[in-house]
Chain A
Amino acid sequence: MARTASVQTKIGFTILAWAVALLLFSPILWTIVTAFKTEAEAIAAPPTFLPQTFTLENFADVQGRSDYIKHAWNSILVSVGSTLLGLVIAIPAAWSMAFAPTKRTKDILMWMLSTKMMPAVGVLIPIYLIFRDLRLLDTVHGLTLIMTLINLPIIIWMLYTYFKEIPVDILEAARMDGAELYDEIVHVLVPMAVPGIASTLLLNVILAWNEAFWTITLTSGRAGTLTAFISSFSSPQGLFLAKLSAASLLAIAPILLLGWFSQKQLVRGLTFGAVK
């Protein structure tokens, strides 16, 4: 009796949950199917769900019109480059906070967090002018630098929470054995913290990939990332829904796949370790 009731409840909840989840996912699903339709079919009324004539033409058109590959390459350079640069700066800092804390460590951590609260528009104009004068506007390295600075607090915080979980005794033992600091960090700490460092890397690549304020305001043609690429589709030119869908799919697919693997890290990283 109780068992049948619970199976019925389970069926009910399952149906409800799937309905809600599909509803939330529907814009993405719709984009995926539309990307493979012809332009005429994409705006047909009543709409078709699966493409009646399956075509890859949209992808070729998008590449021809806006050069997807160049923008994707810029996105990769900026997101991976800024994350690696961030890690190089952050690992020593997080080491010192986790294993050699002083009275001020907590204040410094909180202060770093506070830099993240600064609204980008508050510093947009000076950064724009500095970049203009230093000829950094619309360059990949300029954008990489900004992205490193934006994500540095999150990188340090995430590494700090991961390093805290590593017993200090192991590092001390290595030190007793006469390991230099460099060896202690590179050969003892980093190998033990690989899962944490990998999570940090993944989350920050995702955040940098999707960053859409600085990438749009500081680039135009040359150093444009995928966020700038997709923004060029904001003013419609003729029939373009299928092309827009193809472009959207190309822009989000890589990170969607990465994101699915990093749900757990996302929680820790975005709440600064407050929810694990």
Chain B
Amino acid sequence: MATRQTRTLARTMMAPAVILLFIWMIVPLVMTIWFSFQNYSLINPMMTGFAGWGNYAYVIGDPSFTQALVNTLLLVGGVLLITVIGGTFLALLLDQPIWGQGILRILVISPFFVMPPVAALIWKNGFMHPGYGMLGHLWKAFGLQPVDWFAQYPLFSVIVIVAWQWLPFATLILLTALQSLSEEQREAAEMDGAKAINRFRYIILPHMARAITIVILIQTIFLLGIFAEIRVTTGGGPGYASTNIAFLVFRTGILSNDIGAGSAGGVVAVIIANVVAIFLMRAVGKNLDA
């Protein structure tokens, strides 16, 4: 039983962590909201004063915002589609009795440990470069004209790179979930003569549903903030073709020094992330009771 003394003690022990995170969360956020209603540019110090909804109107009204929003959705949706379907397939494959399972796991998980700028640059130069990239060589081997991926399909190229980085994560989580499905359950279904497709549909998939939900939610949180991959490959271009919301805020606030407008974009990013977060919190919260 917790006495009053231990309860006080417990609070004291928790205090540093709670206070630090509280400051970290509240102070900058309040500042961002404050800046978003100000005329504030580092280039033009004459521009000051309350802006009302001006920055929001400016950011949201600009065509680049709509494009960045669409790009964000395509980026998140595209990567989720590839990683969840690919991850399920890979998890099922690695769960089969095969030779060299340990090494295979290491090979498959490796891309996740590659830091984002490295991943982006080795894809950009080693693979997608029309002159000396592997894909260029491959295209030429089939007598085709090599594709200049980042010029012609900038967003698609970024999606491929990010999906490559996150496929191992989805695979690893789904494989872990799959392996917790009891052998007895599976054998029983096999004995009953259930076809492989039905076993997958009625036993394996429902068992993995929760893990898939978690993969989708956690990846979404990270994918909304994709930054380095864009920064080192396309720089958001050509034009705004591969700019997502995160990169738009960086472009407006830091590169163009428009603190007010950049902050308004930041607030929009926070709102989008919060909508996703609510769902994630519910999924994880449920697990706390279980």
Contact = CB atoms under 8 A, between A and B. Distances in A.
Contacts of A46: 137, 141
A93 B259 contact: no
Nearest to B11: A96
Given A122-B267, A125-B263, A212-B116, A24 B108 contact: yes
Contacts, number: 305
A152 interface: yes
Nearest to B174: A275
A231 B13 contact: no
Given A125-B266, A210-B116, A274-B287, A267 B173 contact: yes
A51 interface: no
Contacts of A149: 20-21, 24
B194 interface: no
Interface size class of B (residues with CB under 8 A): 35 or more
A142 interface: no
Interface in A105-121: 106, 108-110, 112-121
Interface in A236-276: 236, 240-241, 244-245, 248, 251-252, 255-256, 258-260, 263-264, 266-267, 270-276
Contact of B123 (A27, A109, A272): A27
A213 B211 CA distance: 27
B144 interface: no
A248 B119 CA distance: 9
B250 A217 contact: yes
Nearest to B136: A45
B86 to A, nearest CB: 9
Interface in A5-29: 6, 9-10, 13-14, 16-18, 20-22, 24-28
Interface stretch (A52-60, A61-69, A126-134, A192-200): A126-134
Contacts of A10: 96-99
B277 interface: yes
Contact of B164 (A24, A181, A255): A24
A173 interface: no
Contacts of A6: 97
A27 B126 contact: yes
A156 interface: yes
Contacts of A212: 115-117, 227-228
A119 B270 contact: yes
A226 interface: yes
A209 B115 contact: yes
Interface in B81-111: 90, 93-94, 96-100, 104-111
A-B pairs, 8 with minimum CB distance: A259-B113, A123-B28, A212-B228, A126-B31, A117-B277, A100-B10, A43-B132, A96-B10
